[in-house]
Amino acid sequence: MRKGRPPKNPIEVLRAVVFMAEVCRLSGKFNGYQLEKLFEPNSIKKVDGVFKRSCKWDRYIKGVTPNKNALKLVYDKFPHAIELYDSLLWESLQVGPLPEFYWEQFYLKLPINLKRLANRFRSYKSESFYKLGKNKQHALNEIRRVGNLDALACMFALMRECSANGDYGTYDFIETAIFNLIFWTLSKEPFFRCRSKIFVFLVTHIFIGDEAKRLRDTPWNLTLEQINGFIYINQKNILLAEDLQLVIGDDELYEFIYWKSVGDSKLIVKEMAQAFRCELWEVKDSQMGLKWLIKQLNKTRKSDRKIGGVI
């Protein structure tokens, strides 16, 4: 029997698609010809009045894994895109049977703060099949608070490990935390551009599909219209927070997202909108509203980034 290439893991296709979406965004080139002309102009030749080229960048856009030379060419022009390609998120979403000790080795690759939180989470036992202990819940909240791709990857790893171990109660809590974070991730580029493919991949390969194992109905039965609705609301909230100068940069944004979810989210957005409409705005005293949110944000900020004049 002839041996062919082993089938490519579906996550590798998604990884290439998201990576190339970022390369296109950074370069302002949105098709294979433009990318080939940018990165490898000498490969485009005119033969008998007809342009000939390899078309490999077209294939990369469609999900073929870029070769080492292509990755180096991207790195030389857009090094931040390679950080996305090397993200631990893709390792946390590997499909199919995983080697023994896969998750233990995965956690060792995490940044030290997430590594400690993951170990802390795994060391605590749940109070029951249906309820997390306070310590375990606190560790999970701290991971979600970090908010970046490494934190999301950590939550996926913990969730999938619980699923493999039959701990569906803990799985349910982690899945809820991911639900509260994933739409913020999809609100940003390049994930927004690939949101439909990402969502289909997660529902098909990652989240539990066997209803008999679930403690509740799946939260992932969403239409593309509903997904777009969640993302659109998040994008508006982010723009509003930036316009009010509540956040600058990703770290402040992650803190904002976390505390907004902990507080009275609807009230916070309402008071942000009211503040935006006034040139000289004053934050009212309201339980778990904007003034409370600002106090939480100020606790972890340096003095030159504390939000003043409103509390």
- Give yes or no for a contact between 90 and 11, defined as CB atoms under 8 angstroms apart: yes
Residue 2 has pLDDT above 50, yes or no: no
Helix axes 68-77, 32-39, angle to 10 degrees: 80
Q: How confident is the model at residue 18 (pLDDT cuts 50, 70, 90)?
A: very high
The H-or-E segment that residue 151 falls in is helix 149-164
The predicted structure's pLDDT at residue 230: 95
Nearest to 298 by CA among 310, 287, 280: 310
Instruction: Report d(CA 310, CA 19) in Å as an integer.
Output: 41
Q: How confident is the model at residue 302 (pLDDT cuts 50, 70, 90)?
A: confident
The predicted structure's pLDDT at residue 303: 86
Please, is 139 exposed, middle or buried when counting C-beta atoms within 10 Å of its C-beta (0-12, 13-18, 19+)?
A: buried
Helix axes 134-146, 249-262, angle to 10 degrees: 140
The predicted structure's pLDDT at residue 131: 72
The predicted structure's pLDDT at residue 209: 85
- Give yes or no for a contact between 17 and 63, defined as CB atoms under 8 angstroms apart: yes
Cis peptide before 97 (omega within 30 of 0): no
Taking only the tens place, the pLDDT of each residue in 232-291 is: 999 999 999 999 989 999 999 999 999 999 999 999 999 999 888 886 556 778 889 999
The predicted structure's pLDDT at residue 281: 59
Instruction: Report d(CA 159, CA 165) in Å as an integer.
Output: 10
Q: Provide mean pLDDT across the span 174-194.
A: 95
Apex CA 172: angle with CA 169 and CA 174, to 5°? 115
Q: How confident is the model at residue 8 (pLDDT cuts 50, 70, 90)?
A: confident
- Give yes or no for a contact between 27 and 60, defined as CB atoms under 8 angstroms apart: no
The predicted structure's pLDDT at residue 6: 53
The predicted structure's pLDDT at residue 277: 84
- Give yes or no for a contact between 12 and 65, defined as CB atoms under 8 angstroms apart: yes
The predicted structure's pLDDT at residue 214: 85
Q: What are phi and psi of 45, to 5 degrees?
A: -125, 150
Taking only the tens place, the pLDDT of each residue in 24-80 is: 999 999 999 999 999 999 988 878 777 788 899 999 999 999 999 999 999 999 999
Who contacts 100 (Cβ-Cβ below 8 Å, separation ≥6)? Answer: none
Taking only the tens place, the pLDDT of each residue in 88-140 is: 999 999 998 999 999 999 999 999 999 999 999 999 887 766 677 889 999 99
Taking only the tens place, the pLDDT of each residue in 132-167 is: 788 999 999 999 999 999 999 999 999 999 999 999
